[in-house]
A and B are shown apart, each in its own frame.
Chain A
Amino acid sequence: MSLASLLFALLFYVAAAVLVGGLAYRIVGYARTPAPLKIPTTPAPTTGGGVVLRLAREVLLFESLFKGSLWLWGLAWLFHAGLALVLLRHLRYFTEPVGSWLVFLSPFGVYAGFAMAAGLAGLWLRRLWLPPVRYISTPSDHLLLGLLLAIAGSGLALKFGVHTDVVAVKSFFRGLLTLAWEAAAGRPAAVAAPLPGRCADDRVPLQQAAARAGGVLLAVAQPGRRPARPPPPRALGRAPRS
């Protein structure tokens, strides 16, 4: 096994571990922190089913953001939907056999790459353009957008510019996933090189963003206090640690 292959293999494992571990760490941290006072965000649903529905609307449609700013909502949704499809399409490089739903989705994944890049570019322009948003931006906000744009750009370049041996890429990753090192070792590292490198880049923004999503779940998953019919059996707040 060549040194480069070994390096990429290691990077892949580290990135995956940081992503999964960091995410779990954050979510467990949130779940362990008490919430002594019930503070639902308006308009709070009053039933468990209502909470699930609202959560779904917030996560899938960005309902609150829609009310907040139509432009921002459009760009953010374009980017996230694109990202989601692109990630799904990438499953092709990791799964064997490839599911039929995945085969169905794959062609859309290509357009999604463009949607994601366009959304990102729009978000970045907005951040540079609007004085209030420019005022609140930290260098890391710009860096994340730039990094993601570079990832999307290099991905599209691989698809339409420098062609990759997808079969080779796939066997490289299958090898990593099944811990069958020999399979990964024999492949020409040069071909696979761009991909694992990008996985490493991915981990910072993805882990942060995914942890955020986890936070949202915990933050909005609270019904309003009073159920529909009296007399009201109350949600019991956990006593604060003093």
Chain B
Amino acid sequence: MAAEIKAPALRPLPLAPPLLPGAMAGSRPYVASDKMQQALGFPGELAPDWQPKALAKMGELLGRYRSLRVFLDACVHCGACADKCHYFLGTQDPLNMPVARQDLMRSVYRRHFTLPGKLFPRLVGARELTREVLDQWYTYYNQCSECRRCSVFCPYGIDTAEVTMAAKEIMDSVGLGQKYSNEIIAKVHRIGNNLGLPGPALADTLQGLEEDVKEETGADVRFPLDEAGAEVLLVTPSADFFAEPHVDSLIGYAKVFHAAGIRWTLSSKASEAGNFGLFIGNYEQLRAIALRVREAALELGVKRIVVGECGHAWRVAYSFWNTLVGIGGGGRDPFARQLQQQLDPRYRQPMHICELTWDLIQRGALTLDKDANDHRIVTYHDSCNVARASRMGDLPGGQFTLPRAIIGAVVNRYVEMAPGTTHEQTYCCGGGGGLLTDELLELRVKGALPRMEALRQVADQHGVNFMATICAICKAQFSKVLPYYGFKMGMVGGVHQLVSTAIRLHAQP
């Protein structure tokens, strides 16, 4: 990254920009080292026979995931998705149009797996899987945050994220892994969390937080670690333990548990809600990482599992934990059954921290002082994985209404960003899907463009000075890119950060 990174100019009208072919051809994340690859059971580097292996893997995935097969067949090249991707809008590189991104794999699929592609490759745009094509895969599948925005507008519901995940899985299987994601997965297995924070350091940090909160509020709010017999196991992204502004939300959860008198605990074994196995599309990793949570829950004997503010973690928990490891019913091995016996069936399993807090607010169990947030004019950024890949509460669309309902209960001044940029059509922060790494900063800055445009509008018209969100990646990404667009980095924070400011703690009886 030699040249200085500059934010693109905001568009006067939200129209598709002109194409700049090759604009992002040089943006690639570092390749994982051979050691790192082997730690995850992948080949260390590209072997001479990588091509047949990659094709075999592709055939395997086509037989394993119905979605991939349907998506590669179904597209009519209508282009409805073309201008829906924040990375295309921000970079203008045509290969960042979702359909073009899919076509990087579809062309290979047609050449090697379909009759027309074998007979008339030129006619149907079929291409041999060459080294150049593989390099294009590595470049442009690492410019997709798997946010699923494109799928909302496609007449066939084609989800480019699925294709990206399959591409990453194929590349890993021939030794072309991405350093950032694979390093993090190795750390989860070795140490227990993405940030590599070992148990003793975690205990220290939590003790420090207890002291801080005591000083601030006078209440003995606890941050328990590995306490067997607690009612709730909280699984939260490890950034919550020390990154700004994440930690303020952790304090918020602790205050909520304290005020409601719920005994809770964190686990040093499962001190990470994030699951990068999803990002690299690897089922075995996805499951192995999720299994840590089950083991921790069994060891600690908890009755409920609650997930903190993390977008993709909630997607994995809500949509996949059931069949992956049996949290919430579904798994059929002995441990899954044991866990289902153990967990309290009167509650949702797993439960999002927003569901928990909202239930308490509705029951009148929390004392909230909205005025305490009067220095803030708040807007809410829907995070992709919560908005487009999960749900909350009993009603359809609960993933949109619950966080907003909580905000409504703790702040007086709230403004919605423009329609078409929120709810199911929300724009990605630009850092999801395993792209939150420094060497991709140019991509991240440019990809934030559509969200920054919407934020600029409410900031100018309504004086918005705080953007709340419930995703650790969104928080980290915005902290980094907000300054490029002339905003303060402290403008982003968690929903439970707002709760933390408003909540009034009584002395416990």
Where the two chains meet, the residues of A that have a C-beta atom closer than 8 Å to any C-beta of B are: 26, 29-30, 33-46, 50, 58, 62, 64-65, 67-69, 72, 76, 130-133, 135-141, 143, 209, 211-212, 215-216, 218-220, 224-226, 228-234, 236-237, 239-241
Contact = CB atoms under 8 A, between A and B. Distances in A.
Nearest to B326: A234
A101 to B, nearest CB: 28
A34 B64 CA distance: 6
Nearest to B72: A215
Interface size range of chain B in the complex: 35 or more
Contacts of B71: 219
A35 B67 contact: yes
Contact of B348 (A43, A228, A230, A240): A230
Contacts of A37: 65, 283, 319-320, 323
A43 B80 CA distance: 18
22 contacts: A33-B65, A37-B320, A38-B319, A42-B152, A42-B387, A45-B396, A46-B396, A58-B155, A64-B80, A65-B155, A69-B80, A76-B78, A133-B78, A136-B77, A212-B76, A215-B70, A216-B155, A226-B391, A228-B394, A229-B394, A232-B329, A237-B322
Given A26-B73, A220-B157, A136 B328 contact: no
Interface in B149-178: 151-159, 162
Contacts of A226: 318, 348, 391
B237 to A, nearest CB: 21
B123 A132 contact: no
A229 B348 CA distance: 10
B424 to A, nearest CB: 5
B83 interface: yes
Contact of B97 (A132, A138, A140): A132
Contacts, number: 195
Interface in B411-434: 424-425
A53 B78 CA distance: 24
Contacts of B69: 29-30, 33
A178 B430 CA distance: 61
A226 to B, nearest CB: 6
Contact of B153 (A38, A65, A132, A219): A65
B294 interface: no
A140 B125 contact: yes
B66 interface: yes
Nearest to B318: A225
B63 interface: yes
Contacts of A67: 152-153, 425
Interface in B27-85: 62-67, 69-71, 73-74, 76-84
Interface in B385-411: 387-389, 391, 394-397
B16 interface: yes
B124 A138 contact: yes
A212 B74 contact: yes
Contact of A224 (B18, B124, B391): B391
A233 B322 contact: no
Contact of A136 (B99, B122, B123): B99
A43 B397 contact: yes
Given A139-B123, A239-B323, 5 more contacts: A33-B66, A76-B78, A133-B79, A209-B76, A216-B157
Nearest to B398: A226
B399 to A, nearest CB: 9
B83 A132 contact: yes
Contacts of A225: 318-319, 322, 391
A30 B124 contact: no
Contacts of A218: 66, 70
A25 B187 CA distance: 45
Interface in B78-127: 78-84, 94, 97, 99-100, 103, 116, 120, 122-125
Given A132-B79, A143-B123, A241-B64, A41 B159 contact: yes
Given A30-B70, A76-B155, A42 B82 contact: no
Nearest to A215: B70
A57 to B, nearest CB: 11
Nearest to A139: B123
A219 B152 contact: no
A140 B123 contact: yes
B66 A35 contact: yes
B151 A41 contact: yes
A208 to B, nearest CB: 9
Contacts of B79: 69, 72, 130, 132-133, 136
B381 interface: no
